[in-house]
Structure 1
Amino acid sequence: MKKLIILLLTITMIFSLAACSNDKNDSSSTNDNPVFKIGAIPDQNVSKLNRRFDELAKYIGEKSGLNVEYVPTVDYSALVTAFERGEIDLAWFGGLTGVQARNLVSDSEAIAQRPRDEKFHSVFIVQKDLDINNLEDIKGLTFTFGSESSTSGHLMPRYFLTEAGVNLEEDLDGKPNYSGSHDKTWKLVESGAFQTGALNEAVWEAAVKNDKVDLNKVKVFYTTPDYYDYNWTINDVNNKFGDGTKEKIKTALLSFGEDNKEIMELFGDTKFIETKNDNYKAIESVAKDLGIIK
């Protein structure tokens, strides 16, 4: 009997210690400093994206006192979905994906952009030996967009082609291709895989500046009128991280260029400036007219 009592007491102590341990673990997972997660559309070279967003995350963490982490994403739609689920707190969207995300999350807000995003452009490129001078001339040729969810690599180029009377389903040599990113678009045209394509002006300019493009093989033949594009959109972070968090993040973004000129160059500009949701209403209107969003 004495041995049985000792055994029962030992088992009770083991279960009690396990319960305490579980309580402690649960407490640490909920009370530790939560991670503020940044995401970005994967619109170009992964190593370049990782460098600029890792540095930005570090800077925002230092300025805000938050535990900030950059989380890469596989494609444009995955970032929108992660933002909708609250898995991403701050996202670098294109104009279209920003509209899609804010339509899904009612309290989200576009808070910052680059100066160039007020007057952004797409460029249409073509193989150098082809005599192409305007959008109508691409009829009968092969053509590639970037990502289907890209503003500058698909939405606005499609819009301007439609305005020029080009029927993308009937007038091209085959269906239009989707490369997935801007840098892949110019590489496909340069290589001869496609005769023409459209991409983000900033990516093109950076590739030319860094001597990555063979200008003996590919050239720009058309630059679009301007439109609003990239933006930082923030989720409903005050409820998650405390009052004033949104303003802390906004303040950090607006000061980033002053302290990180080298990294800011990777964003293709010198600083971030304020923006607002209404600036992207034209993008939303175009996307609805083209049936890309409802």
Structure 2
Amino acid sequence: MKISQRSVFIIFVFVFLFGTLPGCGKKAESQGPQFGTIPASPKIPVYRFAVHPLHNPAKLVTAYQPLIDYLNSRLQGAQLGLEASRDYADFEKKYSEGKPEVILPNPWQTIQAVKAGYHVIAMAGEPEDFKGIFIVRKDSNLKKPADLKGKAVSYPSPTALAACIMPQYFLYEQGININSEIENRYVGSQESSIMNAYLGLTAAGATWPPPWRAFQKDFPQEAAELKVIWETDSLINNSVMVRDDIPEQVAEQIRELLLELDETPEGKLILAGMETAHFLPASNADYDVVRQYIDNFELKVRPIVEP
């Protein structure tokens, strides 16, 4: 039986509203979802490739498993297994404990992961694509940012740089005290932030371009009722990092394969599924601009992590 796009959306709304499907709740609460194709040979080391919650776990594996399969078909001396996390806090706990060998964090998480023993080998996507956007219903009465005063705004997580920190700094620059003049709702995922706006649970939902493009493709009927009303300036995009104890030859293989991904039709198809233009060379030093941005944000707006 073919499942219609409408049925998929109804299931999506059900999971959004109630958190999980019947019969799946207890396991989901006890540990985050794990995804990946693990090689059968125990002689080959398998490194976990953990991607921060760009999407909900099911959507993330659909988008990123083709990349893992591509890398595994070309890597020598190692294999990768994709690992998703149920939310930002779950992902951040993993890298802070040094558990995954390879990670794809946002820029704020990148500078935190350096402290935990990781280093940057590439950047995922164009810097210009890393910006916050505000999604509202087309029938919204909002005209200017000040109209949000007294209303609720949804975000994936307080540590989501493009989808929370940058939008909140934008509101600060527009004269809004985000700590007292609006209600901030941290709803767990990019899709949930968009859905809050769609369902009218918040006046606006903050996200960033890749999840919004994916939502438009997956749910065009619902997306047609939404629009981008404001956007922030751009920063630097997400990174790819490896743990410092990973063999240099393995890290270099991964880096080269990522940088060459946009040179073949197969690679371009994989990138399109991730809503990513290409991977670019990058190092720890490229993310110093994020430290400066965060220092300014914490001074003027709020601490990223509550003490």
TM over 0.5: yes
| 2:59 is the alignment partner of 1:54 | no
For residue 240 of structure 2, the aligned residue among 229, 232, 244 is 232
| 1:191 and 2:202 correspond | no
Structure-2 residue corresponding to 1:255: 260
Instruction: Give 1:61 shift.
Output: 2.2
Aligned partner of 2:155 among 129, 145, 163: 145
Aligned partner (choices 247, 258, 264) of residue 271 of structure 2: 264
In the alignment, what sits opposite 1:121? 131
- Aligned residue pairs total 257
The answer to whether 1:81 aligns with 2:89 is no
Cα offset, 1:284, TM superposition: 2.2
Pick the structure with greater CA Rg. 1
Which residue is 1:203 aligned to? 211
TM-score by length of 2: 0.76
Aligned counterpart, 1:99? 111
Counterpart amino acid of 2:261? F
C-alpha contact 1:126 1:195 (8 A) present in aligned 2: yes
2:24 is matched with none
Task: Work out the percentage of aligned pairs sharing the same amino acid.
Answer: 22
Equivalent-residue separation in structure 1 for 2:88 and 2:111 (angstroms): 12
- The equivalent residue for 1:178 is 186
In 2, the alpha carbon distance for the partners of 1:81 and 1:178 equals 18
Letter in 2 for 1:251: E
1:151-200 Cα offsets, whole Å, 9 max, x none, are: 1111111111112211112212xx31011111111111111111112111
Q: Which moved more, 1:185-194 or 1:84-93?
A: 84-93
Matched-pair contact (CA < 8 Å) for 1:80–1:97? yes
CA contact (8 A) 1:59 1:256 kept: no
Q: Which has the higher helix share?
A: 1
Seen in structure 2, the aligned counterparts of structure 1 residues 231 and 192 have a Cα distance that, compared at 3 Å, is same
> In the TM superposition, what whole-angstrom CA distance separates every residue of 1:221-267 from its partner, at most 9, and x where no partner exists?
101111113111111144xxx34222111112112333332221122
Change (3 A) 1:215 1:40: closer
* Unmatched 5+ stretches in structure 2: 1-41
Structure 1 gap ranges (5+): 1-30
Q: Residue type matched to 1:49 in 2?
A: L
Mapped to 1, the partners of 2:156 and 2:225 lie a distance apart of 19
Q: Secondary structure at the match of 2:205?
A: strand
The answer to whether the 8 Å contact 2:158/2:304 transfers is no
TM-score by length of 1: 0.79
